A and B are shown apart, each in its own frame.
Chain A
Amino acid sequence: MRARQPDRADVVEREGVKVAYEVFGQGEPGLLLIPAAPISHARSWKGLVPFLSRHFTVVTVDPRGNGPSDRPAGRAAYGPAEMLADQLAVLDAVALTRAVVVAHCHAVPWALRLAADHADRVSGVVAIAPAIALAPRDEHWAEPTERWADEVDNPTGWGLCNRHVWRQDYPAWPRFFFDQLLPEPHSTKQYEDAVSWALETDPETMIAEREGRDAPKDRHAAEALCRSVRCPTLVIHGTEDRCQPAAGGQRLAELTGGDLVVLEGAGHMPHGREPVKVNRLVKEFVDRIEGEPMRRQVWTRGLRRPKRALYLSSPIGLGHARRDVAVVKELKRLRPELEVDWLAQHPVTSVLEAEGERIHPASAWLANESAHIASEACEHDLHCFQALRRMDEILVANFMVFQEVVEEGLYDLVIGDEAWDVDHFWHENPELKRGDHVWLTDFVGYLPMPDGGEHEAFLTTDYNAEMIEHIARYPRIRDSAIFVGNPDDIVPNTFGADLPSIRDWTETHFSFSGYITGFTPPDPDEVPAIRAELGYHDDEQVCLVAVGGSGVGRALLEKVIAAYPLAKRLIPELRMVVVAGPRIDPDSLPSHPGLEVHGYVNRLYRHLSVCDLAVVQGGLTTTMELAAAKRPFLYFPLRHHFEQNFHVRHRLDRYGAGRCMDYATTSDPDLIAAAVGDHIGEAVAYRDVETDGAAHAARLIAELI
Chain B
Amino acid sequence: MRAIVADVEGSITRDGITIHYERYGSGTPTLLLLPTWSLVHSRHWKLQVPYLARHHTVLTFDGRGNGRSDRPGEAALYSMVEFAGDALAVMDATETERVVLVSVSSGALWSLQLCAEHSERVLGAIFIAPRVPFALPPLEHVVLQRFDEVVEDPVGWEKYNAHHWKADYRDFVEFFMGRMFTEPHSTKQYEDAVGWALETDPATVIATHNGLQGCTPDAIGQLADRVRCPTLVIHGSHDAIRSHAQGVALAERTRGALVTLEGSGHFPHTRDPVRVNLLIRQFVVGIG
Which residues of A does B touch, CB under 8 Å?
A: 287-301, 303-304
A selection of 29 A-B contacts at a CB cut-off of 8 Å is A287-B286, A288-B285, A291-B286, A291-B287, A292-B285, A293-B287, A294-B232, A294-B257, A294-B259, A294-B279, A294-B282, A294-B286, A297-B257, A297-B259, A297-B260, A298-B260, A298-B261, A299-B259, A299-B261, A299-B262, A300-B261, A300-B262, A300-B263, A301-B183, A301-B261, A301-B262, A301-B264, A304-B262, A304-B263
A289 CB contacts on chain B under 8 angstroms: 288
B138 in the interface (beta carbon within 8 A)? no
Q: Which residue of A lies closest to B231 (CB)?
A: A294
**B:230-269 near A, CB below 8 Å:** 230, 232, 257-264
A297 to B261, CA, bound (A): 9
User: Quick check: A293 and B230 within 8 Å, CB to CB?
Assistant: yes
A296 CB contacts on chain B under 8 angstroms: 257-259
A264 to B288, CA, bound (A): 28
20 more A-B contacts (CB under 8 A) besides A287-B285, A294-B282, A300-B262?
Answer: A288-B285, A288-B288, A291-B288, A294-B232, A294-B257, A294-B279, A294-B283, A297-B257, A297-B260, A298-B260, A298-B261, A299-B260, A299-B262, A299-B275, A299-B279, A301-B261, A301-B272, A303-B184, A303-B263, A304-B263
A297 CB contacts on chain B under 8 angstroms: 257-260
Q: Which residue of B lies closest to A301 (CB)?
A: B263
Question: Would you call the interface of chain B mostly helix, strand, loop, or mixed?
Answer: mixed
B272 CB contacts on chain A under 8 angstroms: 301
A325 to B279, CA, bound (A): 37
A300 CB contacts on chain B under 8 angstroms: 261-263
Top 5 A-B pairs, shortest CB-CB distance: A291-B288, A300-B262, A294-B257, A301-B263, A304-B263
Number of chain B residues close to chain A: CB under 8 A? 21
B259 CB contacts on chain A under 8 angstroms: 294, 296-299
User: Quick check: B263 and A290 within 8 Å, CB to CB?
Assistant: no
Which residues of B does A touch, CB under 8 Å?
A: 183-184, 230, 232, 257-264, 272, 275, 279, 282-283, 285-288
> Which of B264, B282, B286 counts the most A-chain CB atoms under 10 A from its CB?
B286
A221 to B211, CA, bound (A): 65
A290 to B285, CA, bound (A): 10
A295 CB contacts on chain B under 8 angstroms: 257
B263 CB contacts on chain A under 8 angstroms: 300-301, 303-304
A287 to B288, CA, bound (A): 8
CB distance from A284 to the nearest CB of B (A): 9
Q: Which residue of B lies closest to A290 (CB)?
A: B288
CB distance from B229 to the nearest CB of A (A): 12
A675 to B172, CA, bound (A): 91
A370 to B1, CA, bound (A): 60
A303 CB contacts on chain B under 8 angstroms: 184, 263
B283 CB contacts on chain A under 8 angstroms: 294
CB distance from B249 to the nearest CB of A (A): 14
B258 CB contacts on chain A under 8 angstroms: 296-297
Q: Which residue of A lies closest to B283 (CB)?
A: A294
A668 to B55, CA, bound (A): 74
CB distance from B230 to the nearest CB of A (A): 7
A291 to B282, CA, bound (A): 10
A303 to B283, CA, bound (A): 25
A299 CB contacts on chain B under 8 angstroms: 259-262, 275, 279
CB distance from A116 to the nearest CB of B (A): 22
CB distance from A577 to the nearest CB of B (A): 54
A304 CB contacts on chain B under 8 angstroms: 262-263
User: Quick check: A293 and B262 within 8 Å, CB to CB?
Assistant: no
B285 CB contacts on chain A under 8 angstroms: 287-288, 292
> Which of A287, A288, A299 counts the most B-chain CB atoms under 10 A from its CB?
A299
A291 to B229, CA, bound (A): 13
> Which of A287, A288, A289, A304 counts the most B-chain CB atoms under 10 A from its CB?
A304
Q: Which residue of A lies closest to B251 (CB)?
A: A296
> Which of B184, B263, B275 counts the most A-chain CB atoms under 10 A from its CB?
B263
A319 to B258, CA, bound (A): 43
A510 to B240, CA, bound (A): 50
User: Quick check: A292 and B286 within 8 Å, CB to CB?
Assistant: yes
A296 to B235, CA, bound (A): 12
Q: Which residue of B lies closest to A232 (CB)?
A: B288
A301 CB contacts on chain B under 8 angstroms: 183, 261-264, 272
A291 CB contacts on chain B under 8 angstroms: 286-288
Q: Which residue of B lies closest to A284 (CB)?
A: B285
A292 to B285, CA, bound (A): 8
A300 to B263, CA, bound (A): 6
A139 to B264, CA, bound (A): 62
User: Quick check: B183 and A293 within 8 Å, CB to CB?
Assistant: no
CB distance from B268 to the nearest CB of A (A): 9
A293 CB contacts on chain B under 8 angstroms: 230, 257, 286-287
A290 CB contacts on chain B under 8 angstroms: 288
CB distance from B78 to the nearest CB of A (A): 32
A291 to B258, CA, bound (A): 17
CB distance from B182 to the nearest CB of A (A): 11
CB distance from A258 to the nearest CB of B (A): 15
A351 to B92, CA, bound (A): 65
CB distance from A232 to the nearest CB of B (A): 10
A290 to B286, CA, bound (A): 8
CB distance from A412 to the nearest CB of B (A): 16
B287 CB contacts on chain A under 8 angstroms: 291, 293
A502 to B238, CA, bound (A): 54
CB distance from A507 to the nearest CB of B (A): 42
CB distance from B35 to the nearest CB of A (A): 24
CB distance from B282 to the nearest CB of A (A): 6
A296 to B259, CA, bound (A): 6
CB distance from A124 to the nearest CB of B (A): 11
A29 to B16, CA, bound (A): 51
CB distance from B267 to the nearest CB of A (A): 13
CB distance from A31 to the nearest CB of B (A): 17
CB distance from B271 to the nearest CB of A (A): 8
User: Quick check: B262 and A298 within 8 Å, CB to CB?
Assistant: yes
A510 to B288, CA, bound (A): 47
CB distance from B100 to the nearest CB of A (A): 13
A298 CB contacts on chain B under 8 angstroms: 259-262
Q: Which residue of A lies closest to B264 (CB)?
A: A301
A291 to B261, CA, bound (A): 23
> Which of A287, A293, A301, A304 counts the most B-chain CB atoms under 10 A from its CB?
A301
B183 CB contacts on chain A under 8 angstroms: 301
A295 to B256, CA, bound (A): 9
CB distance from A547 to the nearest CB of B (A): 49
B257 CB contacts on chain A under 8 angstroms: 293-297
A297 to B258, CA, bound (A): 7
A298 to B260, CA, bound (A): 5
A294 to B230, CA, bound (A): 9
A288 to B283, CA, bound (A): 11
CB distance from A209 to the nearest CB of B (A): 37
B288 CB contacts on chain A under 8 angstroms: 288-291
